[in-house]
Amino acid sequence: MTRVGVIGAGAFGTALASVARLGGNNVTLWGRDPAQITAMQAQGENTKYLPDVALPEGLHLTNDLGDLAQSDIILMVLPAQQLRSFLARADLPTQAPVLLCAKGIESDTGLLQQQILTESLPNTPIAVLSGPGFASEMTRGKPTALSLGCDDPKTGAWLQGVLSSQTLRLYLTQDTTGVALGGALKNVYAIACGLVVGAGLGESARAALMTRGFAELARLAASMGAKTETLMGLSGFGDLALSCTSLQSRNFAFGEKLGREGAFGTGKTVEGIATAQAVLALAARQNVEMPIAQAVADVLDGRQEIAQALHTLMSRPLKPEA
């Protein structure tokens, strides 16, 4: 029985831990808040993030990282902006591959999470998981398919076999850059689509933003060596389609409320906020133009109103579609 350690007891961490446990693995879920872990143990569910969904029998809950010392795999499900500080104080098992499952780019440096992890644990095998999967649906046994990126084909195939199940299908690629960028950048365009819908600008505008946003995403990813087929797959197109069309998406819901009420704040982690600025710095280094991402960052920072940002986009010089 494979020992799976999951770091991060939010919605997605709990969902992955539950699916892995139901798949027959020995799973330990770690959360930093002792009170939350105690409540989950007592109530048999993650009331804070996934209410009314029972945790599977045999799932071990802990706030002691030492309980993950013998893990065969570590699933890292912390927000991207917390990863570096966590690694600075954590003592992870060096023999276990780390599968990065959260989506985002470090705002201060523009680094992908696998780059941060390599700096801290240079000898640790790394993989990246991303794609269109809502935690609430995964935990309820709804069918989900995700992309699994791993440089080493043998390690990737092993992870794929261990973590795939009757309800979770993983598709393997060696393009970790494409998987990471697809998952991170779609959050920015989900906010953009939320802004458009919340402001009442119509479905045509949303479709245009999704399409042109994908073109931006693909240009940046290609400049960093990602493969087009990766971006056309689950972690790029698939995740973009899901996140830009459903209020279950935290980023879309955030943008929709901002567009409708002019109000910030959801009480949930919205990775696209930090990613919007990080991706602009990354695009500048790669000499890639990303006007939609720029418009989102301008709105979030208060430099432009939504109507102004739309006017800026619609006033850009006419050009061939590419």
Q: With beta carbons less than 8 A apart as the criterion, state whether 214 and 193 touch.
A: no
Cβ neighbours around 99 below 10 Å, total:
26
The phi and psi torsions of 40 (rounded to 5 degrees) equal -65, -40
Per mean pLDDT, which range of 1-5, 148-152, 318-322 is the poorest? 318-322
The tens digit of pLDDT for each residue in 101-127 reads 999 999 888 899 999 999 999 999 999
**In DSSP terms, which residues pair with 28 in a beta bridge?**
5, 60
Residue 266 reports pLDDT greater than 60: no
Q: Which amino acid is at 53?
A: V
Q: Residue 233's pLDDT is what?
A: 97
Q: Is 47 exposed, middle or buried (0-12, 13-18, 19+ CB in 10 A)?
A: middle
Closest CA to 311 of 229, 212, 205: 205
* Average pLDDT taken over every residue of the chain: 93
The tens digit of pLDDT for each residue in 118-170 reads 999 999 999 999 999 999 999 999 999 999 999 999 999 999 999 999 999 99
Q: Residue 33's pLDDT is what?
A: 96
* Distance separating alpha carbons of residues 26 and 23, to the nearest angstrom: 9
By annotation, the residues acting in catalysis are 186
The tens digit of pLDDT for each residue in 197-229 reads 999 999 999 999 999 999 999 999 999 999 999
Q: Residue 27's pLDDT is what?
A: 98
Domains assigned to the chain: 3-174 (3.40.50.720), 177-314 (1.10.1040.10)
- The mean per-residue pLDDT over the stretch 86-107 comes to 92
Closest CA to 49 of 8, 99, 94: 8
Helix segments in 57-150, DSSP class H:
83-89, 113-120, 135-139
- Confidence class of residue 175 from pLDDT cuts 50, 70 and 90? very high
Q: Residue 265's pLDDT is what?
A: 58
Residue 277 reports pLDDT greater than 90: no
Query: Structure pTM?
Result: 0.94
Q: Residue 155's pLDDT is what?
A: 97
Q: Residue 15's pLDDT is what?
A: 97
- Confidence class of residue 269 from pLDDT cuts 50, 70 and 90? low
Residue 313 reports pLDDT greater than 90: no
Q: Residue 203's pLDDT is what?
A: 95
Residue 267 reports pLDDT greater than 60: no
**In DSSP terms, which residues pair with 3 in a beta bridge?**
26
In the chain, the N- to C-terminal Cα span, in Å, equals 49
Report DSSP letters for 33-56, one per residue: -HHHHHHHHHHSEETTTEEEEEPP
